[in-house]
Structure 1
Amino acid sequence: MSDKISVLKDYFGHDSFRDGQEQIVDALLDGRDALCIMPTGAGKSMCYQIPALLFDGVTIVVSPLISLMKDQVGSLVQSGVPAAYINSSLSYPQFLRVLSNTEHGKYKIIYVAPERLLTDGFLDTCKKIKISMVAVDEAHCVSQWGQDFRPSYLKIISFVESLANRPIVGAFTATAT
């Protein structure tokens, strides 16, 4: 089995962690929930992507931006990481293909829009797979007092509670109020 440094180097091309990254990675790998607040560009995504690659199951990344999902998944796939996204940009047949591939263990990381979390098809699939971690990207969207508030972010807890086994939960943001 790989270790965190091997994953960091082999998939992301770095020899060492930046300030703060290793502490978050270690917390998640130790099975603890974590909150990560770092400046933009500090490598928050790697803080959940590295554990995702080391865990047995699938990591679900809740992300609010379609363009961010596409960029993240594109970069991961290019690096050899089996990843996908579920959002409103997919046609229904594409959505069904992602669900089928998920059930057949073809992905390690799946990015999903918060509005898709509690849909029947997605929930049914999630109940058939092992979800090791739920990573909440852009976690500041939970704040009702912020301009980026997304009501669907308040339903993340319902999603986590609907799963047979509670996964590790990480929240990641560059903004905190």
Structure 2
Amino acid sequence: MDKFELLKQYFGHDSFRDGQENIIDNISSGRDALCIMPTGGGKSICYQIPALMSDGIAIVISPLISLMKDQVTSLNQNGIRAAYINSTLTPAQQSRAICNAMRGEYKLIYVAPERLEAPAFLNLCNSIKISLIAVDEAHCVSQWGHDFRTSYLKISDFISKLDDRPVVSAFTATATDAVKRDILNLLGLKNPFEITTGFDRKNLFFAVKR
């Protein structure tokens, strides 16, 4: 299926939001990407659709356990096989998820950045075909960002240990010039497509009423 058929079948939309189609086209063509889009702007579709269009499994790195659970639940409800591997799972549940991944049963796996330091996870990633890596909340890589996470500094080390480097895309809602430079450099993005969409959200407005 093409991107429009996937958008309709799995997400129920007839058209893309501002910037989404351009991002999807660049990631699908094999180009790294840095995408600055507002909260609610539809960042997740920008890596979920390329994941569905590609062979292999997409690795989504997120610092928010609750967001992982919500996204995976939503994807599964829409008929997309996805899983998360984090500290909320028992060792048996983690082992089951890893076995399922090695059998190619998922299109997306969500992990916290700390998971990348586990040798077992690196072994998994070198045993499967990774279609792409998406780094959500990418501002966490920068000490200039408001949510700095030291584990985000290990992402580029993890990528360098993969037998085959996949496409790497980074997403965040806001980034100053300094944070943007850090994302580009610390994640090792190669000749990335860069886009900043508008921050006007038509479903939100401010009003003062006397």
String of CA shifts for 1:103-148, please: whole Å, max 9, x gaps: 0111000000000012011111111000010000011111112231
Match of 1:48 in 2: 47
Match of 2:111 in 1: 112
Any stretches of 5+ residues in structure 2 without a counterpart?
Answer: 177-210
Any stretches of 5+ residues in structure 1 without a counterpart?
Answer: none
Match of 2:145 in 1: 146
> Is 1:67 paired with 2:66?
yes
Q: SS at 2:164's partner residue? A: coil
Distance in 1 separating the partners of 2:43 and 2:145: 20
Q: Which moved more, 1:116-125 or 1:76-85?
A: 116-125
Letter paired with 1:149: F
User: Which residues in structure 2 correspond to 1:22-171 (within 5 Å)?
Assistant: 22-171=21-170
String of CA shifts for 1:2-32, please: whole Å, max 9, x gaps: 1111111111000010011111001001100
Letter paired with 1:152: S
Aligned-residue offset at 1:82: 0.4
Calculate the aligned-residue CA RMSD, in Å.
0.7
Distance in 1 separating the partners of 2:15 and 2:144: 37
Distance in 2 separating the partners of 1:145 and 1:92: 35
Aligned-residue offset at 1:83: 0.2
Match of 1:9 in 2: 8
8 Å contact from structure 2 (residues 145, 175) kept in 1: no
Match of 2:203 in 1: none
Aligned-residue offset at 1:43: 0.2
Letter paired with 1:32: R
Aligned residues: 176
Aligned-residue offset at 1:175: 1.7
Letter paired with 1:66: I
The higher radius of gyration belongs to 2
